[in-house]
Amino acid sequence: MNRGLKGLEERVLSQGLCTACGACLSLCPYLRSWQGRVVKLHDCGLEEGRCFVYCPRTEVDLDGICQKEFGQKYEKVEMGPVKNILMARARDPIWRKKAQSGGVVSALIDFALRKKALDAAILTPREADFLPEGRIVRDREDILTCAGSSYVSGPTLEALHKGPWQGEEKIGVVGLPCQAQALTRMRASSLERKTPVDRVGLVIGLFCTWALEYEQFHAFLNKRLGQSHMIKLEITPPPERLLKIHTNGSLHMIPIDEIRPFIRKGCQVCPDMTAELSDISAGTVEGIEGWNTMIIRSDRGEMLFKKAEAEGIVESKPMPEDHLGHLGEASLLKKRKAIEAIQKRGELLQK
């Protein structure tokens, strides 16, 4: 079996399973992204390559990876390695206003940069065209350009390979579950590498039920909104489930079912809602506005969060029991759906 670009093309790209995480980009001249899509330009001819090995949609030894990253095997629990689950928010309202929910992710990155725990972080800009890509940020102003969700996935991780880096930086990454997984694969890979993945000192994963295809989704939005400038997107919790789009001057509401056709096929087979392979995971808290659900997973995640809390950057409180239950159910639901989708694909492939 080819474990290079040919394999990636056959098993991921041509199957529509690519999530455009960016892990395979800027490693070689054969793959490139455009409008949120990963495109193969030429045949590379190698039997094994980093593109295949780093891809979160190819086979993975989860036990091996978890042993290495968290010092334990992958437990078949509902949401990966967990040290603590709580709800939190940034104290500074600047984060809560621009960012999603409690603004904790932006505030933590800002804190880590100011404290020199990180020299740079890779985030995803949320600007004019909402075209996702990786951006290397070094200060608060940069972070603000990246705060908020776009609900589309894009090649954020490409920035890790592309740089530019000075060579010594400690790097933080904020990404989706697939991106957090790709980073652990990069670290675990034995292939010769010239990527700065070993300098990634913090991964904050974002909860994700699915991501949208950029091109189709934005063609749809352009049609619906014309050229009005979008400021913020959010999806309200069930049973309402509306996409709320804040533009300059007005608020548009679109039922979620109308945008479901733009969900990436690759997301249907993803079992990870809570970004299980990150140091800290963050999501919303259902029914409680202005707060984040935080899952503290690793020692270094725990250390950063505690420091930030001690210095008054974030505040936290325990997660109500019933919310914890819902979180587990939602995470398991995604796993169940993914398994069903995988089985269905298997049947389709056999036919």
Partner 1 sequence: MNISQNTPGKVALLMGNEAIARGALEAGVKVCAAYPGNPSSEIIGTLAGVAEELGLHVEWSINEKVALEVAAAASLSGLRGLCAMKQNGLNVASDFLLNLNLTGCRGGLVVVVADDPGGISSSNEEDSRLFAKLGDLPLLEPANFREAKEMTREAFNLSERLNLPVLIRSVTRVSHARGNVTFDELPQSSPKPGFDLSRPSLAFPPMPNHKALHEKFERAKKIFEESPFNFYRGPEKPDLMVITSGSGYMYSLEAVSNLKVEERVGILKLGTTWPLPEEFVLRHLRRSENFLFIEEVDPFLENNVKELFAQNCSDLGVKRFSGKASHTVPDVGELNPEIVTSALQTLLRVDYMPRPEEYRRRADEAIAEQVPPRAHSFCAGCPHRATYWAVKTALALDARDGFVLGDIGCYSLGMGPSGFFQMKTLHAMGSGTGLACGFGQLERFGLEQPVVAVCGDSTFYHAAMPALANAYYNGANFLLLLLDNSATAMTGFQPHPGTGSTATGGMAPIIDLKAICEVLGARVEVVDPFDIEEAVETILRLIRMERGVHPVRNSSETLNHAEEQGGIISNGVKVLILRRECALVSGKHQRKLFRIEVDQGRCLGEACGCNRLCTRIFKCPGLVWDQSTGKARIDEAICNGCGVCAGICPATAIRKEAVSGGDVVS
- Which parts of this chain interact with partner 1 (CB under 8 A)? 4, 27-30, 32, 34-35, 37, 39-42, 44-46, 48-50, 191-192, 194, 222-223, 226-227
Q: Are 64 and 20 in contact (CB under 8 A)?
A: no
CA 256 to chain centre: 20
* In the complex, minimum distance from the CB of residue 24 to partner 1, in angstroms, rounded to a whole number: 11
Closer by beta carbon to partner 1, 46 or else 231: 46
Q: In whole angstroms, how close is the CB of 198 to partner 1 at the nearest point?
A: 17
Looking at the Cβ atoms of 37 and 265, the one nearer to partner 1 is 37
Q: Closer to partner 1 at the Cβ: 28 or 202?
A: 28
Report the relative pairing of strands 292-296 and 230-235 from DSSP bridges.
unpaired
Q: What's the start-to-end Cα distance of the chain, in Å?
A: 21
Q: Which CB sits closer to partner 1, 227 or 248?
A: 227
- Cα Rg of the chain, angstroms: 19
Closest approach of partner 1 to the CB of residue 195, in Å: 10
CA within 13 Å, CB half, 311? 14
Cβ 226 to partner 1, closest distance in Å? 6
Q: How far is the CB of 27 from partner 1 (least distance, A)?
A: 6
CB of 33 to partner 1, least distance (A): 8
Tokens standing for 207?
Answer: 């909860």
Measured from the Cβ of residue 231, the count of other Cβ atoms closer than 10 Å reads 14
CB 195 within 8 A of CB 27: yes
**CB 138 → partner 1: shortest distance, Å?**
24
Q: By C-beta, is 6 or 96 nearer to partner 1?
A: 6
Q: Which residue, 40 or 335, is less far from partner 1 as judged by CB? A: 40
Residues in CB range of 44: below 8 A, 6 or more apart: 4, 5, 6, 28, 30
Which of residues 9 and 110 has its CB atom nearest to partner 1 in the complex?
9
Tell me which DSSP letter residue 229 carries.
Answer: P
Gap between the Cα atoms of 267 and 263, Å rounded: 7
Both structure tokens of 283: 């999501």
CA distance 325 to 144: 33
Q: How far apart are CA 22 and CA 26, in angstroms?
A: 8
